Structure 1
Amino acid sequence: MLFRTSKKTILSFFVFQLLVLLVYAQPGIPVTKWTPDGNSYYQAEKGEIVKTDLPGLTKTTFISKKDLTANGKAIVPRSFQLSEDGNLALIYTNAKRVWRYPTRGDYWVLNRSTGELKQIGKGKPESTLQFAKFSPDATKVAYVCEHNIYVEDLASGAIKKLTDDKGTKKLINGTFDWVYEEEFAMRDGFRWSPDGKSIAYWQIDANQIRDYFMLNTTDSVYSQVIPVEYPKVGEPPSPARIGVVDINNADTKWMNVPGDPAQHYIVRMEWSAPGEIILQQLNRRQNESKLMLCNTATAEAKTIYAESDSAWVATISEWTNDVTGWDWINGKKEFL
């Protein structure tokens, strides 16, 4: 009887742990942010940001509720980023769901030295900013809003639009359509260059994809028809391409990635060095993978590794929900 009870307790514990992972391992909700030395970590708790020191698990308030109050209104952090020196905090709040996950919301920047709390993208519709990130020197923040990429200067507040959706909601810059999220867990679609002078990003053209109509029967007494661009079996997916935009003049240079964009996917892309991008391309069947280096000055792409399989080639989304970044080792001479 004791063994049976213990077995039930252990099973309940593991089910609980799985539920925690499913809920909190979502994009936009990082559970823990470690300090550079690995001796402490930060977490958003009860409307403030708490620092926990190891090994004693001593907790101190790093950013208080008072720090996160603007015009008498509390800014409740869902997640946050810190500048390299820890002085600036980029706070994500008021999150709304896109497909599965709460990846659009509002962003605020707190200057911990002066106490100034400033909203990013002020004047944009509520809860429409996505994937905001500091520039490498933390003087600017870039973000996606309604399928376009913007950059905002923190000192002046000047906002510059870097991409053009041509007046259609189906030309998507800096994020993805349904297929890329469904197949490859891809949501955040832009990356700052190491020098902070340009941004590499995906552009998805869903204009040729027909709408699949879904019914929303939960948000209102009357159902609503929701169109979703969705290629049915046998129809080509949205073509994708990689561009590098200069943040000073908003000019984009498109990388010359070989292969029909409508018959291939670009499932990973990161900066590998100043002036160089590394990306992974899959064919439509997802059984051929190529890694390429792109020279951002000439836009030329060179294949450095290829593999194939009779079934399929595994991609990073099969073992992690966070598909950003590249696992470099040995001083960026090798990767996993």
Structure 2
Amino acid sequence: MKTESIKIMFSVCLLAAAGCTISKPDIQSGKLQSVGYLNLERIFDSNEFEAEKFGPARWLENGSGYTTLEDSDTQEGGKDIVRYNPETGSREIMVSSTRLVPPDESEPLEIDGYSWSEDGKKLLIFTNTERVWRRNTRGDYWVIDMNSWDLYKLGADAKPSTLMFAKFSPDGYRVAYVCEKNLFVQDLNDCHITQLTTDGSDTIINATSDWVYEEEFGLRDGFRWSPDGNSIAYWQFDTNGVRDFHLINYTDSLYPKITTFQYPKVGETNPACRIGVISSSGGETIWFEVPGDPRNHYIPKMEWVENSQEIVLQQLNRLQNTNKVMTGDARTGRVRTILTECDEAWIDVSNSLKWLDD
């Protein structure tokens, strides 16, 4: 709402300023082609006033430079992935847009996001994206082998634009991702797919978030590889019992459309949240024994400890004025509280944990 208000005020100011440059004869004769004349079409329906963009940029693991996207000189509409050395300023095209053309296609992939494996030998491309709540977090993922230049799509026969939050394993040989509320791991050597969870449904959400956690805590990506790559920790949400909220859209078409999503109002039933760990090769999930009513507490933060045997999580009460930091044993599910922070009003959870070298 605030952003829209700023846009409107900005437009009004521009139009007012433009009005000062138009002479009365021009208005009467309809001659409004002056270079200085602004209208809503120029402001909103063109890219004339769009700020120049940079990135997305990615630092390489060895610290030798960073990569970013730049318009291709050889293929119209394409993007090259370019490496810069910040020390010397040297520039190198690492992945030309011609390398991003899928088999049997003539146009390169449109890059909405990308990431490198830790060894820099593989590149993960996020494309064909769709919006989930507020951000485009669902789409297709492609992998490029930087040695052979093979380009292939992940997910096998998954529906288009259904993969979320794909991430390389620490060794770079596998990729984990979410598809239709379940968690999967795909081997990049033989493309074999292992489905880690099977209970995803309209009310059970694995490895991504429901509406509440995205709204309250900005949580979208709901799983983490262990540092050794042997396990994955993930959030699971049970929205059963959360009441539906209906929005009526009168503006997009002649007849109104109704959008329905689960939304707990104050005092109403919240989704239940829990965190588990599962082997990256499949098996049973070990659920952490976090105390307290899961519908009246939140778990907004979770990360692995460097030893790959424990996770650290933060638990908030529903009033959000008591935060407990806990560690959990990934082998047994037992947890222990290592810090409790309280405030009479409100506490903001922090994600700035720093692990010591020892």
Which position in structure 2 is the counterpart of 1:51?
A: 83
Which residue of 327, 330, 334 corresponds with 2:356? 330
SS of alignment partner, residue 235 of structure 1:
coil
Deviation string for 1:93-140 (max 9, x for gaps)? 111111111111110000010010010112111111100001111111
Which position in structure 1 is the counterpart of 2:308?
A: 274
Which position in structure 2 is the counterpart of 1:115?
A: 149
Map 1:148-163; keep pairs closer than 5 Å: 148-163=182-197
The separation in 1 between residues aligned to 2:251 and 2:288, in whole angstroms, is 43
SS of alignment partner, residue 233 of structure 2:
strand
Change (3 A) 1:238 1:40: same
Task: Report how many aligned residue pairs link the two structures.
Answer: 300
The separation in 2 between residues aligned to 1:88 and 1:103, in whole angstroms, is 21
The separation in 1 between residues aligned to 2:125 and 2:336, in whole angstroms, is 38
Deviation string for 1:261-282 (max 9, x for gaps)? 0110001001012110000000
The answer to whether the 8 Å contact 1:161/1:250 transfers is no
The answer to whether the 8 Å contact 1:176/1:186 transfers is yes
The separation in 1 between residues aligned to 2:123 and 2:283, in whole angstroms, is 26
Which position in structure 1 is the counterpart of 2:57?
A: 32
The separation in 2 between residues aligned to 1:60 and 1:178, in whole angstroms, is 42
The separation in 1 between residues aligned to 2:94 and 2:208, in whole angstroms, is 32
Deviation string for 1:237-263 (max 9, x for gaps)? 111000111232331111101111011
The answer to whether the 8 Å contact 1:41/1:52 transfers is yes
Instruction: Say which structure, 1 or 2, has more relative contact order (CA 8 Å, 6+ apart).
Output: 1
CA positional deviation for 1:222 = 4.2
Which position in structure 2 is the counterpart of 1:61?
A: 93
Map 1:122-161; keep pairs closer than 5 Å: 122-161=156-195
Which position in structure 2 is the counterpart of 1:5?
A: none
Which runs of 5 or more residues in structure 2 are unaligned?
A: 1-12, 14-49, 72-78
Map 1:184-263; keep pairs closer than 5 Å: 184-216=217-249, 222-263=255-296
CA positional deviation for 1:84 = 1.3
Change (3 A) 1:223 1:112: farther
| Equivalent position amino acid for 1:206 in 2 | T
Which position in structure 2 is the counterpart of 1:314?
A: 348
The separation in 2 between residues aligned to 1:81 and 1:227, in whole angstroms, is 34
CA positional deviation for 1:163 = 1.0
The separation in 2 between residues aligned to 1:99 and 1:59, in whole angstroms, is 38
SS of alignment partner, residue 99 of structure 2:
coil
Overall identity of the aligned pairs, in %: 44
CA positional deviation for 1:57 = 3.4
Which runs of 5 or more residues in structure 1 are unaligned?
A: 1-7, 9-18, 25-29, 317-322
The answer to whether the 8 Å contact 2:182/2:207 transfers is yes
The separation in 2 between residues aligned to 1:217 and 1:56, in whole angstroms, is 56
The answer to whether the 8 Å contact 2:223/2:235 transfers is yes
Q: TM-score, normalised by structure 2?
A: 0.79
Which position in structure 2 is the counterpart of 1:27?
A: none
Larger Rg: 2
The answer to whether the 8 Å contact 2:60/2:120 transfers is no
